Structure 1
C-alpha cells in the first residue's frame, strides 16, 4: 500500500469554499488508469488530477484528468489549479515571482504563466492548446428549451443562438434571455442525448450563458451541466469557457486585437467563480485565447492506495 500526498484547491476563486474544488494527487507513479478513475470517483469532485513526471524534461509535470466517470484530454480548472499548486510547491520562479509552467496533458503541452501578489491568492493563465472549432448542431430551439426546462422564447439573445464548439472537450453553448432564465435551467439527461450525441467517448455538456450578470465587472453569466460525466452542475468550467471563445467571436465579432472578458459561474450553486477569458482576433478570426483565474489551497492529506 502506497502513501500518496493529495491537496484540495478551490479554483477560479480567490477565497476558500467558493469556486470549483479540485483534488490533486501527487506521486501517482504506479497507478493504473482504472485506479485513477476509482480514486476520482472516491473524491467525487468535478475533476481529480494525477501529477506525474513529464516525458520532456524541459516541462514541469504530466497530468491525467478524471471526472467521477471518465478521463478528459484537457480541462481548465485542473490546469489552473495544478499550475498554482506546483508554483506554490516551489517550482522555479523569476525574480519578479512569476513562473512559466508547462503541463503535459492528453491534448498536448499546455503553457501556464503563474504569478502571486503578497496577501493575495495566486493567479494562473494558460494558452489554449487547441482553438475552438464548431460542430454541427441541428436541434431546434424548442427541443433545446425542453431539455433545459425552459420556454422556447428564452433561448437566444441578440444574434446569439445555440451552437456547438470544442477546444478539446465538446460543449453545446446555449444563450438564454437573462439571469432569470439561467437560474431556471434544469437539464433532462435523456432529452439532452437527442441534442448532443456522443463525441468520441464524451457527451457534450450544456453551457448555458447570458449577457446579464450579477457582478458589475463580468461580461457573461454561465452555468454548465454534464450529468453523463458524473457532473450534475459544475461551479466553474475552463474547458467550456475555451469552447465558448468560438461562440463569442462568431456572434459578437469583436474588433481585431486582444480583448478580455470575466465570466461568472457557480452563483446558483453558492460557489461563485470568476473565469478570465482573453481572446485575440485578426481579420475577424480567433487567432489565440487564454483562460485564467485564481486558486487557493483548502486541504491536504494522504491517500493510502
Structure 2
C-alpha cells in the first residue's frame, strides 16, 4: 500500500510504500524492491520478536537500510491501524522500539499518527559553515550562526542541522560534489544528510537534502525534524517545546509536521505527528 505521509491533501507530503506481509519476501529482494519503487523510503512489515509489539519493521531508502526514520513509522502505523490496542502500537526497528499513538478525525476515523523517537537526542560535531553552505549552493553569509553552527544531531538517524535566512532557504539546492567533499572530510559518517531550516515564531520551514543516498531533496523528513526539535530544546535550556514544521513546499508537495520535545532524566525525547492519505494498493510477484 502507498500513502502520502504528513499530507493535508493527496499528492502532498512524502509518499511511502508499505509491504504489510513481508515474511515471504526473499532477503536479497528487499533493497532492489525499494530501489525499484524509487520512493524516499519503503517499509517491510514482519512478525515482531516480542509478541507484545505490533510488528518488526525494516526501513529501506533507495540505496540502503535505515535504523530509524520518521515518515515510514507514521505511514506504517496508519496502514496497520487495525493492529492497535487502545489506539497505540509499538514497532521494533533496528534503532530500538518506537511508540505510536494513532490520531483520529472528528468522526473517529484514523487520520494519522504520532510517534516518539526510539532514542534520546545525541548532539555531535560541528561542521564548517563554508562546507555546508556549499552543499546547499549558498554563501556563508546565508547561514545563521547566532544559535548554533551547522551541527550533527540524531534521535535515531543523524543529520547535519543548519539554520539559514528565510530567503536563502528558498534558493537552496543540493550540490553533489560539495556533499562528496563534506563526506570525505568526515570518514566516520555513514552519509551526509543536511536539514536546513528557517524560523518564524512558532513555525519552522525546512528542507532536507541527501543526494548521495539517492534523494536529492525529501518532501517530509520526520527523523530530521525530530532531531531539530531535540536540538532546539537543548539550546533553549527549557523543559518542553512544541512547534509546526513545514517542508516540501518548494517541491510542490507541502508537508505539515507537528513536533514536541521534552526533557527527561535520560535526556531529551521528541515526537512527531501528522496526517496520512492512502493512494495505491496492490501486490508484488516474486515468481
Instruction: Tell me if both proteins adopt one fold, taking TM over 0.5 as the criterion.
Output: yes
Contact 2:180 2:212 in 1 (8 A): no
Partner of residue 111 from structure 1, selected from 89, 93, 99 = 99
Q: Deviations over 1:20-64 (max 9, x none)?
A: 000001221132333110000111000000011111111001111
Preserved contact between residue 74 and residue 115 of structure 2 (Cα < 8 Å) = yes
**Number of the residue aligned with 1:220:** 204
Residue 116 of structure 2: aligned partner: 127
The farther-off stretch of 59-68 and 163-172 is 163-172
Change (3 A) 1:282 1:80: closer
Please show how residues 154-173 of structure 1 align to structure 2 within 5 Å: 154-156=142-144, 158-173=146-161
Query: Contact between 1:137 and 1:195, CA under 8 Å: does it hold in 2?
Result: no
Alignment match of 1:195 (pick from 157, 170, 182): 182
The ranges of structure 1 where at least 4 consecutive aligned residues each deviate by more than 4 angstroms after the TM superposition are none
- The residue number in structure 2 matching 1:4 is none
CA distances 1:122-163 after superposition (whole Å, capped 9, x unpaired): 121111110121112242x22322221111111015424311
Question: For 1:54-102, what per-residue CA distance to the aligned partner results, in whole angstroms no more than 9, with x for missing partners?
Answer: 1111100111100010000100000000011100xx22453xxxx1100
User: Which of 255, 262, 276 is residue 238 of structure 2 equivalent to?
Assistant: 255
Instruction: Tell me if 1:181 matches 2:172.
Output: no
SS at match of 2:58: strand
Q: CA deviation at 1:299?
A: 1.0
CA RMSD of aligned residues (A): 2.0
Aligned counterparts of 2:113 and 2:146: Cα–Cα separation in 1: 33
TM-score (structure 1 length as normaliser): 0.87
Residue of structure 2 aligned with 1:277, choices 244, 255, 259: 259
Where structure 2 has 5 or more consecutive residues not aligned to the other structure, the ranges are none
1:91 corresponds, among 79, 83, 96, to 83
Per-residue deviation, residues 181-223 of structure 1 (Å, max 9, x unmatched): 01111121221233343546x30201010114xxxx8611000
Q: Structure 1: state its 5+ residue gaps.
A: 1-6
Query: Which residue does the alignment assign to 2:3?
Result: 9
- Residue from 238, 250, 253 that aligns with 1:268: 250
- What SS does the aligned partner of 2:126 have? coil
Matches within 5 A, 1:18-167: 18-87=12-81, 90-94=82-86, 99-117=87-105, 118=107, 122-139=111-128, 141-156=129-144, 158-167=146-155
For 2:100 and 2:148, locate their aligned partners in 1 and report how far apart those are by CA, in whole Å. Answer: 31
Displacement after TM superposition at 1:120 (Å): 6.6
- Structure 2 vs 1, CA of residues 101 and 198 (structure 1 numbering), >3 Å: closer, same or farther? farther
* CA distance in 2: counterparts of 1:74 and 1:146, whole angstroms: 27
Q: TM-score, normalised by structure 2?
A: 0.92
SS of aligned partner of 1:275: strand
Distance (Å, rounded) in 2 between the aligned partners of 1:50 and 1:198: 30
Corresponding residue number in structure 2 for 1:3: none
Rounded to whole Å, the distance in 2 between the matches of 1:209 and 1:247 is 12
